[in-house]
Structure 1
């Protein structure tokens, strides 16, 4: 079982859209995939569950029979035991969802102290740092999945730090705008610092404890670009090639080279670009309305969209194939 995260601390770059559509395509290719909604905003969970079901789920998540990611890790965070197995939602054959929870924000508040305590080799803090990983991997093993995909929020906070250090692989979605480019610098520096610091934690830990800790060495698969958009009230006439000419060297300088300096094994691929995904405009909200991947909308929307739907299915299937090959599954 492998773990994958789409990570960029800039919002609006399509992390949840990529998670939904790539996971759907991978399931179509025969993999068993578990999506973990690890963003307290719960956008991935809201994509699949209607408001009534989501409200009931979140309203009961603090109870003993709660069914969210928070419900699974709460006993560890509260110091009252190990993780509590919760059930995943079956989206379709081979595709599952672990629901998120706004109360993951409470877990995030505990993580800075647990991070510090891990340097002091405190078992309780090890447990807190690894709680989400333990819950995700237990569920993944129970549902016999090939891949766990984490959906996370747009930040470089302590929750995302714990998730990235648990990820076997990560990809960087990059929107075609200046702010997304600037965010790449933070991505590279943050991940490199987390890897370095966690190596220290693992080095200080006993051999017995080390086997239970986050492995702390995510492999960089590459970046995915989205098409240029309207920005600052002006329509951009610059072609996508213009942005690609800016993105490629920025990824190399601010992500790849920074990670390679820390550990060359984190950047094993000679090519950094995975794909360029178009902006499918109104099809994205329609996909959420039906809880479907964009490429599965054909019988649900006006036939005038069929060409775009087919294009989306082809693009996401191609991206899924590249990701699968780079992960070796």
Structure 2
């Protein structure tokens, strides 16, 4: 099972939109998906149709972190077809006061997701093919919990010249997480989002990011379009709301690239690894 954190410490990069539509594309491909909303703004939870009352009074990912409740206790079944959701809560904004980053608190999400009811593939009625984590737009104890619990990392970014510096700082966080916690988080890749090809500076920035990060940048770029907001207002994925739109097809293509990389990783990791191969699979951004 792959556990994919979707993370960028900068807001407005399409992080939640990317999480939601990859989830929908994975479901189209026959996967059973669990989505964890760890962003205290609750955008993914609202987009999937939960009301403010649901979020304020119901179970949430805060219960996973603070009370270590099980996934089975807090999830909403089939919030979207084939996709279970553990919604976010405003309580996540106070995680820094309730969780000690220098204690076992940092691994609480790892413990929850290692439960056999989530990972035991012999019980197909109660397990998942993929877990997606919509991370908060910051580097916090919640984000580090997500990174430590994940097998893979996806970084959506809007092409700009400041994006390069932001990507480098994320790489430093990943490297520190690996070294400090003996973590093997793999970079699935960088996804270019909210592309507007009428903006020359964005095209220039895209070329620079591709030149710098090479194969770490997915070939598929997601266009900026009003259709994304229209779908979210109707609590639908792009793939359901506008299945033949360019943006929906791009998310299908992006998901196909991600799952192909996973298949390549899994093939490599199932064989005899050399140290150089391991470094290739999990090299941080630099």
Asked if Structure 1 and Structure 2 have the same fold, meaning a TM-score greater than 0.5 normalized by the shorter chain, the answer is yes
Change (3 A) 1:192 1:96: same
Task: Give the Cα separation in 2 of the matches to 1:293 and 1:93.
Answer: 10
Q: Is 1:56 aligned to 2:56, yes or no? A: no
1:309-329 CA-to-partner distances (Å, cap 9, x unmatched) read 432222111111111121228
Counterpart in the other structure of 1:297: 241
CA contact (8 A) 2:60 2:88 kept: yes
Residue pairs, 1:1-329, within 5 angstroms: 1-50=1-50, 54-60=51-57, 66-76=58-68, 83=70, 85-111=73-99, 113=100, 115-116=101-102, 125-126=103-104, 128-138=105-115, 140-141=118-119, 143-199=126-182, 216-229=183-196, 236-238=199-201, 240=203, 242-251=204-213, 271-298=215-242, 309-328=244-263
C-alpha deviation, 1:228, in angstroms: 4.1
* Cα RMSD, aligned residues only: 2.5
**1:239 Cα deviation after fit:** 6.4
How many Å separate the matches in 2 of 1:75 and 1:228? 40
CA shift, 1:238, in A, is 4.2
Q: Is the 8 A contact 1:5 1:150 kept in 2?
A: yes
Q: In structure 1, what is the Cα distance between the partners aligned to 2:92 and 2:238?
A: 28
Give the 3-state SS of the residue equivalent to 1:176 in structure 2.
coil
Evaluate the alpha carbon distance shift between residue 227 and residue 43 of structure 1 in structure 2; reply closer, same or farther with a 3 A threshold.
Answer: closer
Long gaps (5+) in structure 2: 120-124, 267-286
| 8 A contact 1:21–1:293 mirrored in 2 | yes
Structure 1 residue runs without a partner (length 5+) = 61-65, 77-81, 117-124, 200-215, 253-270, 299-305
Normalising by structure 1, we get a TM-score of 0.71
Provide the C-alpha distance between the structure 2 equivalents of 1:154 and 1:72, rounded to a whole number of angstroms: 19
SS across alignment from 2:158:
strand
Measured in 1, the distance between the counterparts of 2:88 and 2:142 equals 13
How many residue pairs match? The answer is 257
Structure 2 length-normalised TM: 0.80
CA deviation map 1:279-298 (0-9, x unaligned): 34211110111111223224
